[in-house]
Amino acid sequence: MIVETKKKAPLFAQHSFWNNQLVVKYCDEDKERPQGIIKKLEFKDISTVPTPLPEEFEWCIIDVNNMEEIEEVYKLLKDHYMEYDKGKQKTTLTIDFLRWVLAPPGYFKDCAVGIRLKSTKELIGFANSAPAKISLGGTVLDMGSFSYLCIERRFRAKRLPSFITTELIRRTNLNGVWQSFFTSSKVIFVPFSEVWFYGRVLNYTKLFELEYASIPSGSSLEEEIEKNRLPTVDIKGFREMTKEDVPQVVKILAQYLKRFEMHPVFTEETVEHMFLTKKGIVHSYVVESEKAVTDFVSFYLVYYTVHRHETIKGFSVNRSLRK
């Protein structure tokens, strides 16, 4: 939970959309209330009619196994999703990455939601809800993981994010899932969890030139290069994870993750999908000792396109889960 007063400041703001949703508002934060579901809903409470859109738009469902449609999503995200440093750097999700992350086991086929212009059928908006099992305080809930919300710049003044979020909630509910979560770098309402990223810059000279990395006060570029240099190690039994390792990795992850009050719950099916190495997307390794897997490490790759630089066109970030 957020504890610093300065972080609470944005919660005083009025949000015409989120103030009417089943989330904890700042004004409710200090009120005594039981832990658990804010309000229990049933199928009879959920509309079977799609959320009305402004006249010039229409809903569509993206088939993530249809190459033409996933290419439309790729292009939309490539051009309009997550810019950094005034457009100098942009997250670029590959088509193979999108097909991997949007279609986990048991994914909701009607929850890869798009918005098209009626006149041209151009895809101008997208968001996805994927199934996830989350343990909260020891209770395992089926939840929807909302991600990749993106609206083309020309239409961002038309409040389309609120329309697409409402429609995702409706569709997720109709799939029998009543709670959802998403991550945000901005505080919109009272969050129930915080996540911290810890970074290690492996090519400091390049990333400093791109202003992705900075030099702390009192340090120098040479000192930061040396500080972030990877050690040379030889780990006995270290090898790439195979399908035969999946049952042991499930147990290792469960043992490690239970120390956290909130954590994902992985099955053999989800571990196989999310962690088995797919070159250029996700890479996983184990340490084996006496025919038993004792350790596990995995990372997935996020690519960034660099604009307005004479020679550097891009770089990648490896995000890791380890035990």
| Residue 278 DSSP class | B
Contact of 243 with 277, CB cutoff 8 Å = no
- Which pLDDT does position 236 carry in this prediction? 94
112 vs 3 pLDDT, higher one: 112
314 vs 86 pLDDT, higher one: 314
Structure tokens at 8: 């609470």
Mean per-residue pLDDT for 175-184?
87
- Which pLDDT does position 91 carry in this prediction? 76
Q: 97-117, pLDDT tens digit by residue? A: 999 999 999 999 999 999 999
CA-to-CA distance for 91 and 99, rounded, in angstroms? 16
Q: How confident is the model at residue 190 (pLDDT cuts 50, 70, 90)?
A: confident
In order, the DSSP letters of 186-252 are S--S--S---------SSHHHHHHTTSS-PPTT--HHHHHHHTPPPP---TTEEE--GGGHHHHHHH
Mean per-residue pLDDT for 70-94?
80
Residue 35 pLDDT greater than 80, yes or no? no
Share of the chain above pLDDT 90, in %: 51
- Which pLDDT does position 171 carry in this prediction? 95
Mean per-residue pLDDT for 157-169?
92
- Which pLDDT does position 105 carry in this prediction? 95
Provide the whole-model pTM.
0.83
Residue 306 to residues 81, 90, 151, 152, 287, Cα–Cα distance (Å): 14, 7, 21, 20, 36
Name the burial class of residue 320, with classes exposed (0-12), middle (13-18) and buried (19+) by CB atoms within 10 angstroms of its CB. exposed
- Which pLDDT does position 11 carry in this prediction? 55
Q: Which of 19-33, 86-100, 139-153, 231-245 has the lowest mean pLDDT?
A: 19-33
Q: 197-234, pLDDT tens digit by residue? A: 777 888 888 888 877 788 888 899 899 889 888 888 88
Mean per-residue pLDDT for 62-72?
96
The alpha-carbon radius of gyration of the chain (Å, integer) is 22
- Which pLDDT does position 3 carry in this prediction? 39
Share of the chain above pLDDT 70, in %: 82
- Which pLDDT does position 4 carry in this prediction? 43
- Which pLDDT does position 2 carry in this prediction? 37
| Residue 113 DSSP class | E
